[in-house]
Amino acid sequence: MPIKGGALQWLAWLMSPAYWAFRAIRIGETALPDIMAENRMEYTDSLWLPFLVLVLEIAGMLALTAFFLRQKDNQ
Report the length, in residues, of the chain: 75
Interval 24-55: pLDDT, tens: 777 666 565 666 566 566 666 678 888 898 99
Sequence ranges of the domains in the chain: 6-74
Residue 27 bridge partners (DSSP): 43
Q: By percentage, how much of the chain surpasses pLDDT 90?
A: 25
pTM (predicted TM-score):
0.65
The confidence score (pLDDT) of residue 44 equals 63
Confidence of residue 63 (pLDDT cuts 50, 70, 90): very high
CB atoms within 10 A of CB 53: 19
Confidence of residue 69 (pLDDT cuts 50, 70, 90): very high
